[in-house]
Amino acid sequence: MFFRLIISTIIFTLSITALCGQETKITADSLFENQKFTEAFELYDSLYQSGQTSKSILLKMAYIKEGLGDYTNSLIYLNKYYELTTDRKTFDKMTELAKNNDLSGYEYSDNRLFISFFRNYRSSIILFLLLLITLCTATIIYQKNKNKNSVGAISVQVILTICLISVTTDLLLNNEAVIFKDQTIVMSGPSAGSEPLLVLKKGHKVEVVKQDQLWVKIRWDNQEAWVRNQQLTFL
């Protein structure tokens, strides 16, 4: 009885949240259509922060930010939309916007396409791997009951488990981030006393190699360097 009450409460809360989110989106869309972009963005952002975003919301947020001259945030929202859709036109728009504002890290490559595709279908890949692992387990049990050699099935299961761990922990992917503050100093090491290498304006996208609470190790121009954690927005 207690668990039924908890489940009912959770379902009710989620339903109310979804209903409120839908009403907020309708209001925001109305404001957007009437070109009240600042007010619309505030509502879209509230949905975005609460995890109730959608592809159409991301596009509208990117459009509003581009119109306001905030190319950094516009590129961030476009990048998130691209990860959901792998739409080439969106990537071309990102490349154009970055080129017009002298920003790097948005060049098209097969690797970036793979990363976006992989992230978009990761949940399906995980379910598929779990299914294969389950089948391997059943095969191993069957072979042991029949006193057959199960080395092959065990080897396959180990490989599939390693793949599953890699997929769920993003070991196969390099994380990316966007420089979010102007005059970001890129350092040779994770220390304020390290040698400054260059200063970057906001909007550049970089590859993240490693991070801790204060510093992030990045790859810039095929070299490794360090920037403060608070100067980046992670994608």
Residue count (the chain): 235
Give a yes or no: residue 9 inside a domain. yes
* Distance separating alpha carbons of residues 224 and 200, to the nearest angstrom: 15
Residue listed under structure tokens 């978009």: 120
Give a yes or no: residue 115 inside a domain. no
Report yes or no: 126 and 168 within 8 Å, Cβ to Cβ: yes
183 shares a domain with 141: no
Beta bridge partners of 211: 216
97 shares a domain with 26: yes
154 shares a domain with 100: no
pTM exceeds 0.75, yes or no: no
8 shares a domain with 99: yes
Residue 127: both structure tokens together: 């379910």
pLDDT tens digit at each of 235 positions of the chain: 544 545 545 443 444 444 556 788 899 999 999 999 999 999 999 999 888 888 999 999 999 999 999 999 999 999 889 888 888 899 889 999 999 999 998 876 666 666 667 766 778 888 898 999 999 888 888 888 888 888 888 888 889 888 888 777 765 555 789 999 889 999 999 988 899 999 999 999 998 888 888 899 998 888 899 999 899 988 7
201 shares a domain with 144: no
Q: What is the pLDDT of residue 8?
A: 47
Q: How far apart, in Å, are the Cα atoms of 155 and each of 133, 140, 158, 162, 170?
A: 11, 10, 5, 11, 23
Give a yes or no: residue 111 inside a domain. no
Contacts of 53 (CB under 8 A, 6+ apart): 44, 47
Q: What is the pLDDT of residue 174?
A: 58
151 shares a domain with 78: no
The CATH number that applies at residue 83 is 1.25.40.10
Give a yes or no: residue 114 inside a domain. no
Q: What is the pLDDT of residue 186?
A: 93
